[in-house]
């Protein structure tokens, strides 16, 4: 037997489960070693944040716009 689950904005959604204060706020999750964006909340998508956007090129934008940035947490 095999099962497949597809979840929208999975890593960003998981962060909001454990941090309800983040709901409705822009959230991005970055890859190993904090290299690039691997998940975005719907709010972050509306801000035009792209998948695979390099963190070092966007840190200032994230700070200025209140985007919450999290390192990937594969234990979730």
Q: Looking at residue 18, which CATH number applies to its domain? A: 3.40.1170.60
Phi first, then psi: what are they for 67, rounded to 5°? Answer: -75, 125
Q: Is residue 63 domain-resident? A: yes
Instruction: Indicate left, alpha or beta for 53 from its phi (over 0: left) and psi (-120 to 50: alpha).
Output: beta
Q: Is residue 1 domain-resident? A: no
Whole-number average pLDDT of the chain: 92
Q: Is residue 5 domain-resident? A: no
Q: Where are the alpha helices (DSSP H) in 5-72?
A: 10-18, 42-46, 55-64
**Count of structural domains within the chain:** 1
Tokens standing for residue 29: 């999750």
Q: What pLDDT, in 10s, does the model give residues 46-56?
A: 999 999 999 99
Q: Is residue 55 domain-resident? A: yes
- Say if residue 62's pLDDT is above 70: yes
Distance CA 3, CA 43 (A): 29
Q: Is residue 19 domain-resident? A: yes
Domain boundaries, position 17 = 10-71
> How much is the average pLDDT of 18-22?
94
């Amino acid at each position: 037997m095999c099962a497949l689950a597809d979840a929208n904005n999975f890593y960003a959604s998981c962060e909001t489960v454990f941090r309800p204060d983040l709901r409705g706020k822009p959230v991005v999750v970055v890859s190993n070693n904090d290299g690039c964006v691997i998940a975005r909340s719907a709010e972050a998508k509306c801000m035009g944040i792209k998948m695979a956007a390099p963190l070092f090129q966007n840190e200032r934008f994230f700070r200025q716009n209140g985007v919450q940035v999290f390192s990937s947490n594969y234990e979730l």
